[in-house]
Amino acid sequence: MTVVSVELDDKLAGELKQISESLQTSEVDLIKKAVDNFLRQQRMDRIRAEIKPYAEAAGFLTEEDIYREIS
Protein backbone atom coordinates (compact mmCIF):
# COMPACT_ATOMS: atom_id res chain seq x y z
CA MET A 1 0.00 0.00 0.00
CA THR A 2 1.24 3.50 -0.81
CA VAL A 3 1.03 6.30 1.73
CA VAL A 4 0.18 9.79 0.47
CA SER A 5 0.32 12.95 2.56
CA VAL A 6 -2.23 15.67 1.91
CA GLU A 7 -2.24 19.22 3.22
CA LEU A 8 -5.70 20.69 3.78
CA ASP A 9 -6.57 24.22 4.74
CA ASP A 10 -8.24 24.63 8.12
CA LYS A 11 -11.74 25.02 6.70
CA LEU A 12 -11.54 21.87 4.58
CA ALA A 13 -9.95 19.89 7.41
CA GLY A 14 -12.72 21.03 9.74
CA GLU A 15 -15.43 19.99 7.30
CA LEU A 16 -13.74 16.63 6.80
CA LYS A 17 -13.58 16.04 10.54
CA GLN A 18 -17.20 17.07 11.03
CA ILE A 19 -18.49 14.80 8.28
CA SER A 20 -16.35 11.86 9.37
CA GLU A 21 -17.77 12.17 12.88
CA SER A 22 -21.35 12.45 11.65
CA LEU A 23 -20.91 9.39 9.42
CA GLN A 24 -18.95 7.54 12.09
CA THR A 25 -16.11 6.79 9.71
CA SER A 26 -12.48 7.79 9.56
CA GLU A 27 -11.15 10.79 7.71
CA VAL A 28 -8.82 8.43 5.85
CA ASP A 29 -11.76 6.36 4.60
CA LEU A 30 -13.57 9.49 3.43
CA ILE A 31 -10.48 10.68 1.56
CA LYS A 32 -10.07 7.25 -0.06
CA LYS A 33 -13.70 7.33 -1.14
CA ALA A 34 -13.35 10.87 -2.52
CA VAL A 35 -10.28 9.92 -4.55
CA ASP A 36 -11.98 6.76 -5.81
CA ASN A 37 -15.08 8.74 -6.86
CA PHE A 38 -12.93 11.36 -8.60
CA LEU A 39 -10.93 8.76 -10.53
CA ARG A 40 -14.10 6.90 -11.53
CA GLN A 41 -15.61 10.15 -12.83
CA GLN A 42 -12.43 10.92 -14.78
CA ARG A 43 -12.59 7.48 -16.43
CA MET A 44 -16.24 8.02 -17.35
CA ASP A 45 -15.47 11.46 -18.79
CA ARG A 46 -12.64 9.96 -20.88
CA ILE A 47 -14.89 7.18 -22.18
CA ARG A 48 -17.66 9.66 -23.01
CA ALA A 49 -15.19 11.81 -24.94
CA GLU A 50 -13.94 8.77 -26.87
CA ILE A 51 -17.39 7.55 -27.90
CA LYS A 52 -18.98 10.97 -28.47
CA PRO A 53 -18.19 11.12 -32.22
CA TYR A 54 -19.71 7.67 -32.74
CA ALA A 55 -22.81 8.53 -30.72
CA GLU A 56 -23.32 11.78 -32.61
CA ALA A 57 -22.92 9.99 -35.94
CA ALA A 58 -25.66 7.59 -34.82
CA GLY A 59 -27.95 10.50 -33.95
CA PHE A 60 -27.45 10.54 -30.19
CA LEU A 61 -26.84 14.20 -29.40
CA THR A 62 -28.09 14.34 -25.81
CA GLU A 63 -28.54 11.95 -22.91
CA GLU A 64 -32.28 12.27 -23.51
CA ASP A 65 -31.75 10.74 -26.96
CA ILE A 66 -30.09 7.75 -25.33
CA TYR A 67 -32.77 7.38 -22.64
CA ARG A 68 -35.49 7.60 -25.27
CA GLU A 69 -33.81 4.84 -27.30
CA ILE A 70 -33.44 2.42 -24.40
CA SER A 71 -36.84 3.08 -22.80
pLDDT at 54: 95
In a domain, 4, yes or no: no
What mean pLDDT do residues 54-63 have?
93
**In the structure, what pLDDT confidence band is assigned to residue 37 with cuts at 50, 70 and 90?**
very high
- Nearest of 71, 3, 62, 66 to residue 32 by alpha carbon: 3
Any domain includes 2: no
Task: Look at residue 57 and tell me if it is in a domain.
Answer: yes
Q: How confident is the model at residue 57 (pLDDT cuts 50, 70, 90)?
A: very high
Confidence of residue 10 (pLDDT cuts 50, 70, 90): very high
**Structural domain of residue 33, as residue ranges?**
10-70
What is the mean predicted confidence (pLDDT) over 36-52? 97
Tell me the three state secondary structure of residue 8. Answer: coil
Residue 60 domain flag: yes
Could you tell me if residue 1 is inside a domain? no
Domain count of the chain? 1
**Does 64 fall in a domain?**
yes
